[in-house]
Every structure is written in structure tokens, then in C-alpha cells.
Structure 1
Amino acid sequence: MLNGKTIAFLVAPEGVEQVELTEPWKAVKQAGGTPKLVSTKPGQIQGFNHLDRADKFAVDETVDGSDPASFDGLVLPGGVANPDFLRTVPAAVQFTRAFFDSGKPVAAICHAPWTLIEADVVRGRTITSWPSLRTDLGNAGATWVDKEVVICTAGPNMLVSSRKPDDLKAFCQAALDAFSA
């Protein structure tokens, strides 16, 4: 389904919700795609199970040295600290925006839409997220809904969003469908 497609996973050095990284990663690999871990620093990133440290993962590319044109789609995992950090790094925000500018699919879960807000790409879109982002998304011009998965095609690209780890099965399937389109 994704044969020959490379999907970027953008994460901060610390604070990514591990299961929101590993489950979509496995789904991309099982569908024949190539996932690449992109971060703001080389080396490894630290995953978390909520507030507890979990596993470390090797970074494939840094956002400064990465060309969004070399990817077919983008996954933005959540965790509170992960997108909160990414939205403060101009190169990460520009990297994210490039997927919208080029019309490539993006999948964001949990708190990840904070990065989308900073990239100014949610205006006029329908999206879901962790419930605490509802006001932030509304203030940024999005329509927030409380659903397991939302697929929005109102903009230049397909945007897939989900609320939380419990939604991962639906999120992974919708992301794979978007990436294979």
C-alpha cells in the first residue's frame, strides 16, 4: 500500500508520547512504507509513557538538514511536551508548514495540533485533538470536534487527526489511507 513512500515523523528530543510514535511507525512499516524519525537534534529522542520515561529512539535526520520534498507525508505524534517544544523551533514549524504548502498529507494526534497552530495551517479546517486544545484550535480558526478520527480535505492537503492513544487504531488506518492516496 505504501511501497516506495517515505513518511516523516517529527518529534522533539524529549516528550513524545511513545505509543503515538510507535503505533503509526509500525503501521507505516507494515504497509510497506519507510518511516524516518526527524528531530531538532541528532542522536536519540526520549519517549514517554505519559509522565514516565520510556524508550529512546535513533534520529534519522535533523529538521535543519531535512528536505520536506523528500517525504510523502508527515506524522506528528503527541505528548504534551513534544508539540509544545516543536512550536518554539522555527525550523520545525517551517518543516510542518511545507507539507501543507506542497499539498502532502499530514496526520496529527493528541496535543500535536499545537505545532499546526504555530504553522498557521488550521484556519478553515475541521480537526480533533486532546480536549484541552479545543479553545486554542478555535482561536486559530479551526472547527474542533470530539471524534475518534477526523479526515479534513478542506485545505490544500488531507489532514488526519485523532484525540488520544485510545484512538490509535482508527488514526493509523486513516493515516495509511491518506498516505496511500
Structure 2
Amino acid sequence: MSYYKTWMDKSEDASNRQEYIEYINRYYALEKVAYEKILGSYPDNAEFLSGTAAQMAAKLNFPKDSMDVFVGFIDGIKSSLTNGDSIDLDAIDDNYEIKLEIDYEKLYYNMRDAKADWLYDIPAWKNILSEEKRHEITKEYREANIAHSDKIGRNDPCPCGSGKKYKNCCGKKG
């Protein structure tokens, strides 16, 4: 069974709730350490972010017995990579060559989208994106996730054009 298949099975199977929670918490802990290493090695991290899957996992502090969790990490960061389409998650084994070409702005946005405050609050972000840029990305994220309602408010002008409040016009009919 591939590491990716193992990752998918374990990360989606909540039949044993305790095992599932332990597995996901382990993933979150390893993920945070990996991102701290990646962000901490910026900007000269191109060599650090390439190698075989086993080498990359070791560089990012994933234990040898957690290759499935490492592939889960790759699955999570893949949408923030400029070369994400070139990584075949099902094909990843210990000798699979990986090169992570990270779009840091997109990564920060995706961390916001995942509501992963333990990741987007990592202090090393200060060395990568200015505070203004981080605020701009946060604002962009919030604007993209505003709930919109087409419901007419009671005190809004009536859409029939009478000039009356909705509650005193067409709102009375229902």
C-alpha cells in the first residue's frame, strides 16, 4: 500500500475516534515543525527543499515510521507550490524525487483558509512577508469569505418602487 493510500485511509477513518484524534494531532505537530524549518531556512532554502522523499522527510523532522504523515504534509502544501502538478502523491515512495517550489503568498493565504492559526502565526513569517503584505493577504481572504444575503431588510426601501419601507408595503402581504 502506498504512503498516500495509508494517509488517506487513516486521515478519513474516524471509526476509532481516539486513534483518529491521536493521528491527526500527530500530523498537526509534525506539520508545524516542518513549516518552522521551511520558513526558518528562507530565502536560501532551494537545496533544503529538494531531495528524495525519505531525505525530505528527515530534513523536516518526520520520523522514518511517519512517511504516510509526510505524504499528508505534501498533500497539504501541494496547492501552494508552483510545481504542485508535477508531484504524483500515489507514486511517492522513499526514493521519489521531490522539489518544493513554494509560492509563499499563496501558502499564507491557504493557511488562513484552513484556519490554521498555529501555522500562519509562526514568527518566521516576519522574515518572508512584510506585516503589510500579511495584512493585505488576510484582508483579501476575509473579503473572499464574506457571506452575502439577497434578503430584503424590513426597513429597506420596497423593491416595487413605491418609496415606502418594505415592512409598510409588500412586506405586509406575506
TM-score by structure 1 length? 0.24
TM-score by structure 2 length? 0.25
Choose between structure 1 and 2: higher strand proportion: 1
Choose between structure 1 and 2: higher helix proportion: 2
Flag the structure with larger Rg: 2
